[in-house]
A and B are shown apart, each in its own frame.
Chain A
Amino acid sequence: MQRDIGKPMFDLLLVIASAAAFAVSTTLPNIEIIGDLSPAFFPKLISALVFVFAVPCLIKDVREWQAADTRNERTISSRGVVQWLLIVALTLGYILIFERLGYIVSTAIFTFSCVIGLLLASGTWHELTSARRVRSLAGAAIFAIVLAVVIFYVFTELFEIPLPA
């Protein structure tokens, strides 16, 4: 059994979130309609059920975590975490520039950064000779531009799906 502190932490988050959701649910306004349950009925019911189910999950996962061998600590690959955060950050950045810079420019920047970013984060970059580095950069740039332009024209012209210009 691998030891992963994230598991009980996520359960704890659910317990807290469901309690908070229940609290917000009680503040929902009500409009009386004959026969109707109030608008707050289901939010309260669902958040209460999540709470009730999440607590035993938390207990079980904490016990498992305590019982698991500490030597078997899940080797969280720092490379994996960096790659994960990189993609999340780049996606967020892509959303922010999506309408501002238009589809083609933002997509080209995003794709280029993804490919080169993963190259850097995975450590492959250091293994490359400087000639290969230039080739990787050029390849990524061509890929990014071609992808952005082709997709833009296919979708706006052929499929008539409007994208930010």
Chain B
Amino acid sequence: MISGYLDGLGMVLQFGTLLAIAGGTLLGIIMGALPGLTSAMAVALLLPVTFGMPPVMGIGMMLGALCGAGASGSIPAILLNIPGTPSSVATTFDGFPMAKKGEAGRALGLSIVASFLGGIASMVILSLLAPPIADFALRFGAAEYFSLSVFGLVIIASVAGKSLLKGLIAGLLGFFVSIIGTDPITGVDRFTFGELSLLTGVNLLPALIGLFAVSQVLKDAFEYDPHQRLKDSGHRIDVARPRFLETLKHWRALLVGILSGSIVGPVPGAGGSIASLVAYDQARRFSRHPEKFGTGHAPGIVSVESANNALLGGALIPTLALGIPGEAATAVLLGGLMIQGVTPGPMLFDDQSGIVHGIFLAYLVANIFMLLIMCLGIKLFIRVLMVPRKQLLSAILVLCFIGVYGVDGDVFNLYLMLGFGILGYFLNRYGFGTAPVILGLILGPIAESNLRRGLQAFEGDWTPFFTRPISLTFLVIAAGLLVLTLWQNYRANRVPVQASKEGANP
């Protein structure tokens, strides 16, 4: 194994390879920071460039893009309340409030370091435990996926705003939207109304950008006041630096993030996007100050961002160990691996050629470059806030158009984006929130199709959902969390009542 790493080190520590990884990382950072441009697109863009390269160099370049995009989605999430990637939705919860207090630099500093540490930890897990984790992921059949999605749906309670009921409605709206399109089991068209673009369902991207970016632009347009410009300049540039010690101080949140990312990340198709929400939810539950979450609380940012980059390592586990990519970005990466003649599978890990060790080290190097580039850029990113509002609003919309149009080249998605933007604006305004919609949209199809697929496979028998151990475990945890949430909610509602009673009788 040591010799494998030495061989790998020889492949990575070459000027060309290092340059390729740095270039890939930079591209990933740019793509991740622009709302709508995805890491899958960054990797696809690099794919033809990597053909002529030796395997570790080409793969390192693509890993750099993945790593950069994983970390930089937090930049617009913190500065503008617009997540750059689906997995940075939860970064907005605490990142934006912190930025509003004038500490955008601090939030960025925390998120960069947390991303880096999450990435490093997941690289260690990937290199040591990939085969057994991959085998564990294989035990997920329809019943397990269904129970996992039920567990995920309980998170809605955590990301809902003040009203649990309204959060649930928002989650159900997302679930309903996910039903649109061809039925995954029978092939019947549902609610497509003859629109070709809807046959494969509503894409996540226009929904995400509409609900978060466009709705935020509409809110800003509504509140736009030319005389208020001076108020925004209260941002403290001096706090903008990487925050190593502060991040380490929140080691519990960091650990929760790394574990969530490494556990949820490897489950193919479950949407790496939920790992960060799981992390946020758990960090809040196990915090001594759950009420501070959502107000610009540092552990909120740390848990989400460490999960964000930890899940990349997690997602690489089934890709490398089984040849099963979890989502689009790793699917493109897999294509790149195969063109390079690297066959993923258990044999890759036994291979003596050092390529797999080279890949691990390249991923490590990509994380280091990510940290360096982001640290150099941090003061630059903050300047976005100094752009006058009206120019900024139009520029954001222009970028949203590129993101939504660039992925699938379909104008219909632009209409969807605007529709979701208007919906998102009203959902926010009337206290429903938009994060539960995204959860419903991601988890809905997993829940529905796996329940029905399971019933089809078990020929109508419901009991396997409750007798298979992993499935049962998730269902029990979900039920436990639900009861806990309801109880906490009940108590939280009673406390102010009692307080006001006491206040009334001095």
Contacts and interface: CB of A to CB of B under 8 A. Distances in A.
- A–B contact with Cβ pairs below 8 Å: the answer is yes
Interface stretch (B245-253, B288-296, B409-417): B409-417
Interface size class of B (residues with CB under 8 A): 35 or more
Contact of B394 (A7, A57, A81, A115): A115
Given A35-B461, A161-B406, 12 more contacts: A7-B430, A24-B191, A28-B188, A35-B456, A42-B175, A87-B397, A95-B411, A107-B398, A111-B398, A119-B226, A151-B399, A163-B405
Interface string A1-33: 000001100110010000001001000111101
6 shortest interchain CB distances as A-B pairs: A35-B460, A114-B394, A39-B183, A31-B186, A161-B406, A87-B221
Nearest to A107: B398
B402 to A, nearest CB: 6
Interface in A60-96: 80-81, 83-84, 86-88, 91-92, 94-95
B222 interface: yes
Contacts of B405: 98, 163-164
Contacts of A47: 176
Interface in B432-487: 448, 451-452, 455-461
Contact of B41 (A29, A147, A161): A161
A163 B456 CA distance: 43
Main secondary structure of the interface of A (DSSP, over half): helix
Nearest to A96: B411
Contacts of B406: 155, 161-163
B402 A155 contact: yes
B217 A87 contact: yes
A164 B406 CA distance: 10
A6 B27 CA distance: 44
A61 to B, nearest CB: 8
Contacts of B431: 7
A144 to B, nearest CB: 8
Contacts of A122: 224-226
A153 B188 CA distance: 43
B394 A111 contact: yes
Contacts of B163: 57
A118 B172 contact: no
Given A39-B188, A155-B402, A118 B222 contact: no
Contacts of A50: 169, 172-173, 176
Interface of A: 6-7, 10-11, 14, 21, 24, 28-31, 33-37, 39, 41-43, 46-47, 49-50, 53-54, 56-57, 80-81, 83-84, 86-88, 91-92, 94-95, 98-99, 107, 110-111, 114-115, 118-119, 122-124, 143, 147-148, 151, 155, 159-164
A11 B448 CA distance: 26
Nearest to A37: B452
B139 interface: no
Majority-rule SS of B interface residues? helix
B422 interface: yes
B218 interface: yes
Contacts of A46: 172, 175-176, 179
Contacts of A162: 406, 409
B459 A34 contact: yes
A151 B402 contact: yes
A160 B45 CA distance: 7
Most buried by A among B168, B222, B390, B414: B390
A134 B460 CA distance: 73
A80 B191 CA distance: 35
A165 B190 CA distance: 35
A36 B456 contact: yes
A43 B186 CA distance: 14
Interface in B381-419: 390-391, 393-395, 397-399, 401-402, 405-406, 409, 411, 414-415, 418
A162 B405 CA distance: 9
